Amino acid sequence: MDEPLQYYFRKFGFNGSAIQRIASGEKYFGLMLKNGNIGVCATLKNKIVAPGLYSDIKPDLEKTTDRILFTAYLNALLNYETNYKEDKDIFDFINFERYNNLVMVGDFKPLIKKFLNFGMKPAVFDLFSEDEIVLPLQLRTKYIQKADGLILTATSIFNSTFSEILNEVKKNCDVYILGPTSILNNEMKTKWNIKTIFGTVFEKNDDRILDIISMGEGTRHFQPLGKKVYL
């Protein structure tokens, strides 16, 4: 299975000269293009230090830090192509009660709280979280192979687990990608059989987003300034 970042790099390349500003923080990396478009990507504890001249950036997709940078670049490049009709949260959009075996890869705490409040308990896996609800990683394949619904963190795209996980799902499993890191592009759906992608877009030229990232803050602080959308 072709992996998204390599595919998009072959298709679009990378133009560092198009970047207006970069922000690197403890939780997120973000950039703004000269046309005002903003893209963000979670760092998962990776530290990205960009060259002084953005035109000198040459991403090496064998390096996790460069994959983070390129993911943010793709978000800025592609996430503004669609005229999104609604601002909806995944829980309000999908009827999850229809799934018998729901799996989440990513510890989305607000979403998990909503599930628990409705008496639903998905199987949750996460590389870093030690929350009580999170299951041991060695059980992930077993649960994914039985899943009829899968909520997959968009960070899987840059941390190289995306293709591995999708190779484990059965054909009739509905796969949803979630998070501000999401690449909101129709080819993500058609090439990798994704049912719906949930992400975030920001007002153009909103420097507050990059300021928040630079201060080391994350989703909880910049999400209210953006718009939750789906594709």
CATH classification of the domain holding 121: 3.40.50.11590
On whether both 107 and 195 belong to a single domain, the answer is yes
On whether both 103 and 192 belong to a single domain, the answer is yes
Alpha carbon of 62 to those of 150, 160, 184: distances in Å?
27, 10, 23
Does residue 192 sit within a domain?
Answer: yes
CB 210, CB 23: distance < 8 Å: yes
How many structural domains is the chain composed of? 2
Q: What is the pLDDT of residue 146?
A: 95
On whether both 102 and 74 belong to a single domain, the answer is no
On whether both 61 and 149 belong to a single domain, the answer is no
What are the pLDDT tens digits along the chain (231 aa)?
689 999 999 999 999 999 999 999 999 999 999 999 999 999 998 988 877 788 889 999 999 999 999 999 999 999 999 888 767 778 788 888 899 999 999 888 888 888 888 888 899 998 777 778 888 989 999 999 999 999 999 999 999 899 999 999 998 999 999 999 999 999 999 999 999 999 999 999 999 999 999 999 998 999 999 999 999
Does residue 104 sit within a domain?
Answer: yes
On whether both 28 and 63 belong to a single domain, the answer is yes
On whether both 118 and 71 belong to a single domain, the answer is no
On whether both 187 and 220 belong to a single domain, the answer is no
On whether both 48 and 131 belong to a single domain, the answer is no
Which residue spans within the chain are E strands per DSSP? 19-24, 28-33, 38-42, 102-105, 123-125, 149-153, 174-178, 196-202, 226-230
Does residue 74 sit within a domain?
Answer: yes
Residue 73: count of CB within 10 angstroms of its CB: 27
Question: Domain span at residue 215?
Answer: 4-82+202-226
Contacts of 134 (CB under 8 A, 6+ apart): 107, 124, 125, 126
First-to-last alpha carbon distance for the chain, in angstroms, is 22
∠ at Cα 29 (47, 40), nearest 5°?
Answer: 155
On whether both 135 and 167 belong to a single domain, the answer is yes
Q: What is the pLDDT of residue 1?
A: 66
Does residue 220 sit within a domain?
Answer: yes
Does residue 231 sit within a domain?
Answer: no
